[in-house]
Amino acid sequence: MQWDWRRFEDLGVDNLHDALQLRARVFILEQGPYLDVDGHDRRSWHLLGRGGANELQAYLRIVDPGVKFDEPSIGRVVTAPSVRGTGLGRELMRQGMAGCVRHWPGRAVRISAQSRLQRFYTALGFAAVGDEYLEDEIPHIQMLWRPA
């Protein structure tokens, strides 16, 4: 897997197209309609994971602190259906957390996690904070990770 960190202005049209296509395949076609392009992309780091044949297989974004939450926020975490169950999702999150530590040393990271994925994020060191809520008609919970 080749990992590539980019700011929005450095994505280029091909990377932006591939990221939005993967996000749409999962977040809109699989999970139901909602506004994926929410205005936070411009103030985020974007992590693209490309596998064989240079195909985008994993993606996440880190929204800058102060935009969505006080802390940096990992979101739009997605892997291609063809690579699910391989551990790539865990590796994607580890790469994202390492990026947060690199860009904002010592800062906690907040996520708005789908409630059904709470165990996945807990295993990565995130802890639930607050009550469950609906976001785009899907149950979510905020979770916080503090670097060691």
Whether residue 50 is predicted with pLDDT greater than 80 in this model: the reply is yes
Query: Radius of gyration of the chain from Cα atoms?
Result: 14
**For position 19, what pLDDT does the model report?**
97
- Residue 98: per-residue pLDDT: 97
Q: Quote the pLDDT of residue 136.
A: 84
In terms of Cα–Cα distance, which of 42, 89, 119 is closest to 143? 119
31 versus 140: which is more confidently predicted?
A: 140
Distance CA 52, CA 17 (A): 18
Sign of CA dihedral 19, 23, 29, 30: positive
pLDDT grade, residue 28 (50/70/90)?
confident
In this predicted model, which residue has the larger pLDDT, 32 or 77? Answer: 77
Q: Give the closest residue to 1 by CA, choosing from 44, 47, 63.
A: 47
Q: What are the structural domains of the chain? A: 2-145 (3.40.630.30)
CA–CA dist 2, 31 (Å, integer): 27
